Amino acid sequence: PEIHFGSTSYGMHIHKSSPNTLAAFINICVLWLVKVCLMLTRTHKGLYRSIARTLKFFQTFALLEVRIESTSVIVTGVQVCSRIFMVWFVTNSIRQIQNEESVILFLVVWTMTEITRYSYYTFNLLHHLPYFIKWARYNLFIVLYPLGVAGELLTIYAALPFVRRSGMYSMRLPNKYNVSFDYYYCLIVFMLSYIPLFPQLFFHMLRQRRRVLHGEVIVEKDD
């Protein structure tokens, strides 16, 4: 249907696009904060603490995004849960790694990815999608996704020695629950999970890229 200013249809599109516009704006603010902090301090140390509150709120809020969209619910759910785990149970919990270069790497990648993604959703809902935004959405991920994964894995790897020494989030036997859990090995399993999961996410995006940019008909096996 065509969009008419002042019509109910247009108002509905504005309403639906509002969360995406807000999300894009928040990510732009995060990226701007990263740039300003680097310019003022000329170092990445302390950068995570300066944006931690905004980052934690936004990434947790993203749970509301796991709904039926043009992308797979399973793929979106895995990506969102992975980021929440990285923010709350790795970077936020282990202060010794917050100044690692890998943290800055995945933060910048996340924000750039989300700016293009939410901008794409917003303009697409308004039926006024500039080509450069569509191009960015379905091309930049080819570089950004591997870089983001590299940043996340390097961050977890840097956290392993601290987790092993401190025994954080771990339960040793004997205890009243008669349950044993080692967070150190949990992180290793989490890292290994990238082997099957990342290719699924990446090739899903490649299929979407062929469909959107080249008009190919793609049949998803499990959406």
Q: Which residues are catalytic?
A: 145, 152
Cis? peptide before 174, omega within 30° of 0: yes
Structure tokens at 19: 């969360």
Structure tokens at 51: 């944006």
CA atoms of 62 and 125, how far apart (whole Å) = 19
Give me the DSSP letters along the chain: ----TTSHHHHHHHHHHHHHHHHHHHHHHHHHHHHHHHHHHSSSTTHHHHHHHHHHHHHHHGGGG-SSSSS-HHHHHHHHHHHHHIIIIIITT-GGGTT-HHHHHHHHHHHHHHHHHHHHHHHHHTT---HHHHHHHTTTHHHHHHHHHHHHHHHHHHHHHHHHHH-TT-BPSS-TT---B-HHHHHHHHHHTHHHHHHHHHHHHHHHHHHHHH------S--
